[in-house]
C-alpha cells in the first residue's frame, strides 16, 4: 500500500543512520511536542542528522533533533535542540533498554512522519558499521548502479 493511502506523510528521513549503522529492528513511537514545534515540523524545518534516543529512568528520550523555531511563535518557541520524550509502552522500553545494555546496540531515529495528523518517530535498534563495512556497502551500491545502467542501455539497443 502507498504511504499516502495509509494516512502517512513522511516529513524527513535520516539517511545518515542507514550509512552509519546496520538497522536490526524498527519501532514506531509518538513524540511529545509543543504546538509551535508541530507547526515548524509541518513547514519542514526539522533535522534528524545527529540525533539519538536513550532510555533514562524508564522513559525514552530523543536527543539532538533540531526543530527550528516557528516564525510566528514568539515567546511560545522552545529551545531547538531540547531533549524530547518519546511515547512507547513500558514493556517496549524495557526490552529496548535490555538490548542496548546487553548487546551494545544504539537507538537512532530513522524517520519522522505524520500518521493521521499526529507526529510519529520511527526509531531503530542499530549496530554501528566499521569503515570496511561502509566501503563494502558503497562498492555494492556502485556495482548495482553500473549493472542497472548496462541493462538500461542494452534495452535501448534492442
No. of H helices and E strands in the chain?
4, 9
**pLDDT of amino acid 12:** 86
**pLDDT of amino acid 1:** 47
Retrieve residue 149's grid coordinates. Answer: 545502467
Say how many C-beta atoms besides its own lie within 10 A of residue 98's C-beta.
11
**Block mean pLDDT (10 aa), the chain, length 158:** 66 83 87 83 84 88 85 73 87 88 85 88 85 80 87 75
> Domains, the chain, ranges and CATH?
4-129 (2.40.280.10)
* Strand segments (E) across 7-75: 8-13, 21-31, 46-47, 52-56, 59-63, 66-67
> What whole-number distance in Å separates Cα of residue 7 and Cα of residue 72?
27
> What whole-number distance in Å separates Cα of residue 62 and Cα of residue 107?
9
> What whole-number distance in Å separates Cα of residue 38 and Cα of residue 18?
25
pTM: 0.72
**pLDDT of amino acid 3:** 56
Retrieve residue 34's grid coordinates. Answer: 509543543
Amino acid at each position: 500500500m502507498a504511504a499516502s493511502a495509509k494516512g502517512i506523510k513522511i516529513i524527513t528521513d535520516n539517511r545518515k543512520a542507514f550509512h552509519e549503522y546496520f538497522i536490526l529492528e524498527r519501532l514506531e513511537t509518538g513524540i511529545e511536542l509543543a504546538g509551535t514545534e508541530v507547526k515548524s515540523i509541518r513547514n519542514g524545518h526539522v533535522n534528524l542528522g545527529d540525533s539519538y534516543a536513550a532510555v533514562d529512568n524508564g522513559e525514552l528520550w530523543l536527543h539532538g533533533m533540531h526543530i527550528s523555531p516557528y516564525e510566528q511563535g514568539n515567546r511560545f518557541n522552545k529551545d531547538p535542540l531540547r531533549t524530547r520524550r518519546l511515547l512507547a509502552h513500558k514493556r517496549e522500553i524495557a526490552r529496548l533498554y535490555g538490548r542496548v545494555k546487553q548487546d551494545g546496540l544504539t537507538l537512532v531515529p530513522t524517520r519522522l512522519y505524520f500518521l493521521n495528523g499526529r507526529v510519529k518517530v520511527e526509531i531503530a535498534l542499530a549496530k554501528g558499521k566499521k569503515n570496511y563495512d561502509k566501503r563494502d556497502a558503497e562498492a555494492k551500491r556502485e556495482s548495482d548502479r553500473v549493472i542497472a545502467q548496462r541493462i538500461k542501455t542494452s534495452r535501448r539497443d534492442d
